[in-house]
Every structure is written in C-alpha cells, then in structure tokens.
Amino acid sequence: MKRFAILMCCMGNICRSPTAEGVLRAKLAQAGLADAVEVDSAGTHSYHLGHAPDRRAQQHALARGYDLAGQRARLAAVEDFARFDLVLAMDRDNLARLQALCPPEHRHKVKLLMHFATRHDADEVPDPYYGEGDGFERVLDYVEDACEGIVAMLRQRQ
C-alpha cells in the first residue's frame, strides 16, 4: 500500500485535532497500519503555536489510553495540501478556512472528519475548550468513531 498521509485540523490545535491525531495513531497501530500511514495535526489559527495540547484534552485522552503529551500546536500551511492525502476539519468553520487556504488542485482532499463516522450522526466535532469534562468525552466518542471509519477505508485500499 502506498504510504498515506492524514492531517487533522481544528482552530488552535490544542484540543480536537491533537486528540484526533493521537486516537488515529493508536487505531492504526492496533490495525497494523502504523508504518503505512503518516498522521499529523494543525490549527487554522495561530493562538497556541508551540503549545502542548490542553491539559484537559490530555487527561481525558490518557484515561482512554491515548498519550498526547509529545504533540505541539502548529499552523496549517499551504504546503500541507500537497503533502497530505486527506486534510480533515473538525467543524464547518475550520473546513471553510482550510478550503480558502487550499490550492484548487487539492480541494478534493479537504473534508470533515465526521464524514468517516458510522455510529454518530453529527457532522462536526464540537469544540470543548470553554466547557467541562463531558465535552472532552464527547470529542473522544466522535473522534474514535471517525478514526475507526478511516481505518476501515484504509484497509479497503490495501
């Protein structure tokens, strides 16, 4: 299988997209696909460049076995659209920002993460930043669902 590359994107790259990166890495490892797929995350805003994921995101992810501690926030760049096969936004606002940044020849790669979900009807992963623990748990529920869908799609490509 050709090495596939996936970029997860949210606003500040400290809650949803690092969670999605960590979850997808773990699910790929469980499926024996870790060497076949590159995973990264980025933000559409420069609020938290260089920062580790939000401590609440890290705590909730770690409780489910996902370690986000080594990640650092970065900004999505035009070059990412050529490098990655999929650029997945957590919500419509970030989708629109990515589409505006994306060169026309790569726009087909930009989608909502929840496009791959099979158990949840939501089309967006809600931002938990201003909320409490239940928001971070909902993010994990949605992201796990979508990442399982991505793994299934990648298996079909083999």
**E strand or H helix at 154:** helix 133-157
Q: Environment class of residue 137 by beta-carbon count within 10 Å: exposed (0-12), middle (13-18) or buried (19+)?
A: middle
Catalytic residue (choose from 9, 10, 15, 102): 10
The token pair that represents 40 in the structure block = 């990264």
Selecting among 54, 91, 127, 145, the annotated active-site residue is 127
How far apart are alpha carbons 93 and 40 in whole angstroms?
Answer: 20
Pick the catalytic residue from 9, 15, 16, 54. Answer: 16
* Structure tokens that stand for 122 in this block: 């939501």
Strand 110-112 with 86-89, pairing? parallel
Q: Catalytic: 16?
A: yes
141 is catalytic: no
The torsion angles phi and psi of 137, rounded to 5 degrees, stand at -70, -40
Clarify whether 15 is annotated catalytic.
Answer: no
For 41-80, give one letter per residue: b (16+ CB within 10 A) or e.
Answer: bbbbeeebeebbbbebbbebbeeeebebeebebbbbeeeb
Catalytic sites, residue numbers = 10, 16, 127
